[in-house]
Amino acid sequence: MGIFGRGPTIGGRPSRQDRRRLRARRPTPARRQETERRVQLFLGAMMAIVVVAVLGLGAYGYYDANIRPKHERVLTVGDRDFSMAYMERHLRYVIRTASATDAARYDANTALQTTIDKVLDAEMERLGAPSLGISVSEEEIDAEVREQLRIPEEDREAFAAAYRKEVRDSGLEPDEYRAAVAAKLLNEKLKQHFRDQVPATADQVRARVIQVGTEEEAQKVLERLRAGEDFADLAAELSLDTSTKDNGGEMDWIARGGVAAEVEAVLFALEAGQLSEPLEVSGSFEIYQVLEKAVAREVTPDQRALMEDRLYAEWRTGISQGHAVTTYLTTEQIQELLQIASEEGAQLSGVQP
């Protein structure tokens, strides 16, 4: 035996001990199966990783193309953002709740503009109402929904079933549906608040008007009036105000608080018989002549409505000035919303889009 514990070899033939070692290293059937199993597991794991990666890319592509755009901000009022998906749902809701004669039901542009206006108005009223001490409770929302559904208060199961169907048919999320009902009630309370502010009597003027398109035309009309030409004749000849021109330009009695502030300032500063300087109003120019003035004249229902509208509009303007409005709608998003409106309206009308 050599110094390393092995016997000498003859003619390069492995020793008995070397042969035992070689046999020990030779794989048995069990070892081969274990090796093959490990290889299969490894290959399976690699395939799974590849499949997950491919599916992940596909899922991300679907999300990026179809889901993410729905969550993009398209409108901001104050510190609240409104997504594309939110606008889509409310666009459908506006169309579905429109009356048969409402243009929003069959005209896509009207429907979209109505939706944007309603979203803005509802949010501005929600932000501004607390300053007037006006709010809507959850109980009031429940009562309003129950009244709309015509379900007796004691029939809870019928109410729950009808409520679920109403929300589903609206196209809104459950919280959005309740918010829409709350917005309706809040608007009614605000209108009643301003209705209560209208006095029973008010200072009033009776006047007539000539409306023309440009300041140059208005100056020429004023020159002719000052030269002695008849106001009624010029109104019939030149005025763009179709509601008054055939009546010599005469308007109904105007109560203080019932017209735009800039018009009111001019009218109530004039004495009977006086002519005003040309005044720009909504892109046209108007010349007024006061015919008669009255103090504490009784306010008519039509005047009351105008005074209510002005009080609300002035309040609404004040709220808007304190909360910025930013629109992010792109041309593509507008076209998508118009397409949705067209399809929704067509479905309600029973017409193929």
Q: Residue 310 carries which side chain, given as an amino acid letter?
A: R
Task: Measure Cα distances from 245 to 209, 211, 222, 239, 248 in Å.
Answer: 8, 9, 16, 6, 5
Per-residue pLDDT tens over the stretch 213-236: 999 999 999 999 999 999 999 999
pLDDT class of 49 with cuts at 50, 70, 90 = confident
SS3 of residue 298 by DSSP: strand
Q: Which two tokens stand for residue 229?
A: 């030409």
Q: Is the pLDDT of residue 106 over 80?
A: yes
Looking at residue 4, what is its pLDDT? 44
User: Do residues 192 and 121 share a domain?
Assistant: yes
User: Do residues 116 and 158 share a domain?
Assistant: yes
Residue 81 placed within a domain: yes
pLDDT class of 353 with cuts at 50, 70, 90 = very low
Residue 129 placed within a domain: yes
SS3 of residue 137 by DSSP: coil
Comparing 64-73, 132-141, 211-220, the range with the smallest average pLDDT is: 64-73
Cβ(151)–Cβ(162) under 8 Å? yes
Looking at residue 286, what is its pLDDT? 98
Number of domains in the chain: 3
Beta-sheet pairing, 284-298 with 201-212: antiparallel
Cβ(353)–Cβ(343) under 8 Å? yes
Q: Which two tokens stand for residue 222?
A: 């004023």
User: Do residues 147 and 285 share a domain?
Assistant: no
In this prediction, residues 330-334 reach a mean pLDDT of 96
Q: Is the pLDDT of residue 28 over 80?
A: no
Q: Is the pLDDT of residue 54 over 80?
A: no
Cβ(248)–Cβ(235) under 8 Å? yes
CATH number of the structural domain spanning residue 224: 3.10.50.40
Residue 15 placed within a domain: no
Residue 307 placed within a domain: no
pTM of the model: 0.75
Cβ(194)–Cβ(313) under 8 Å? no
User: Do residues 176 and 287 share a domain?
Assistant: no
Full residue range of the structural domain in which residue 247 is found:
201-298
Looking at residue 345, what is its pLDDT? 86
Beta-sheet pairing, 73-77 with 279-281: unpaired
Residue 1 placed within a domain: no
Task: Measure Cα distances from 185 to 129, 135, 151, 173, 197 in Å.
Answer: 12, 9, 19, 19, 19
Task: Measure Cα distances from 241 to 236, 249, 293 in Å.
Answer: 10, 8, 22
pLDDT class of 115 with cuts at 50, 70, 90 = very high
User: Do residues 77 and 179 share a domain?
Assistant: yes
Q: Domain boundary residue among 271, 298, 325?
A: 298
pLDDT class of 97 with cuts at 50, 70, 90 = very high
Q: Domain boundary residue among 42, 69, 96?
A: 69
